[in-house]
């Protein structure tokens, strides 16, 4: 069985200890792509991280936060993240057209959902490959990679039921906002190696790997 790939992720705020709460990102969340964006944002807001974290958790999706709750395609507020985007809406937006689909005929919105939580990694880990957890009190950023865990559980959607593999959140690194920017390529390599190691451990019992480094 091949290891599934998923570039989606989460941006979260520490709630103390190993607990955190976050919002979902449907776009590329790999460290080499999203890492520098978050790092720059934290450097700009380091003096008000508590307020930054509170603002972040008002939303359900990362692109909602970036757009301050407005859908760029229809201009409506608090309707969720845009999806199923059709036609030339991307081009129109790039050309500076404001709300090119005001009646939402060529796009829809993802419904609001419960926030992502560290305690639900067994389920959410399958869909959140990379997570970036900000500790506003300690000025730290933790990068987390979801990895395969032992066992499976019955998942349901409508009349369908299947056994879904269990996942958990694995810490890749902890970085002070007062130090140099992390080597995002190296962060990604470590996370990918950890994911491959635990995937082999629980899906290929005969694997002889003893470490992911």
Residue 168 has pLDDT above 50, yes or no: yes
One domain for residues 34 and 83: no
Distances (CA, A) of 111 to 59, 61, 114, 124: 12, 10, 10, 17
Same structural domain, 145 and 90: no
Does a structural domain hold residue 29?
Answer: yes
Residues 71 and 157 in one domain: no
Mean pLDDT of the chain: 87
State pLDDT tens for residues 192-210: 999 999 988 887 766 555 5
Residues 104 and 82 in one domain: yes
Is 213 within a domain? no
pLDDT grade, residue 6 (50/70/90)?
Answer: low
Domain that residue 17 falls in = 9-57+115-203
**CA-CA distance, 32 to 194, in Å (whole number)?**
17
- Regarding whether 193 and 179 lie in a shared domain, the answer is yes
23 and 47 belong to one structural domain: yes
Q: In this structure, is residue 208 part of a structural domain? A: no
Please tell me the predicted confidence (pLDDT) of residue 1: 45
Q: Where is average pLDDT lowest: 96-105, 114-123, 161-170, 174-183?
A: 114-123
Q: Judge if 40 and 135 occupy the same domain.
A: yes
Residues 23 and 77 in one domain: no
Q: Same domain for 51 and 131?
A: yes
**Residue 2's beta-bridge partner residues?**
none
- Rounded to whole angstroms, how far apart are CA atoms 187 and 189? 5
The packing angle between helices 31-44 and 184-203, to 10°, is 130
- Residue pair 168/121 in contact (Cβ under 8 Å)? The answer is yes
Q: Is residue 2 part of a domain?
A: no
Residues 125 and 108 placed together within one structural domain of the fold:
no
Beta pairing, strands 82-83 & 116-117: unpaired
Tell me, yes or no, whether 191 and 147 share the same domain. yes
Specify the number of domains making up the chain. 2
DSSP string, 92-122: HHHTT-SSS-TT-SS-EEPPP-PPEEGGGHH
Residues 106 and 191 grouped into a single domain: no
Residue 101 falls inside a structural domain: yes
């Amino acid at each position: 069985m091949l290891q599934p790939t998923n570039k989606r992720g989460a941006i979260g705020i520490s709630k103390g200890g190993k607990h955190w709460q976050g919002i979902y990102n449907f776009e590329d969340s790999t460290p080499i792509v999203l890492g520098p964006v978050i790092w720059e944002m934290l450097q700009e807001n380091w003096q008000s991280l508590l307020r930054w974290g509170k603002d972040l958790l008002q939303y359900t999706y990362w692109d909602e936060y970036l757009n301050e709750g407005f859908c760029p395609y229809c201009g409506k507020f608090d309707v969720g993240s845009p999806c199923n985007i059709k036609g030339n809406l991307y081009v129109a937006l790039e050309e500076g057209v404001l709300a090119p689909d005001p009646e939402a005929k060529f796009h829809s919105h993802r419904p609001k959902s419960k926030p992502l939580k560290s305690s639900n990694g067994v389920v959410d880990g399958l869909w959140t490959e990379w997570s970036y957890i900000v500790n506003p009190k300690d000025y730290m950023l933790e990068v987390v990679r979801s990895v395969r865990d032992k066992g499976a559980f019955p998942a349901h959607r409508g009349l369908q039921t299947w056994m879904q593999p269990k996942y958990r959140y694995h810490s890749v690194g902890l970085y002070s906002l007062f130090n140099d920017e992390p080597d995002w390529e190296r962060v990604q390599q470590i996370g990918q190696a950890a994911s491959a190691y635990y995937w082999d451990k629980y899906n290929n019992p005969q694997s002889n790997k003893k470490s992911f480094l």
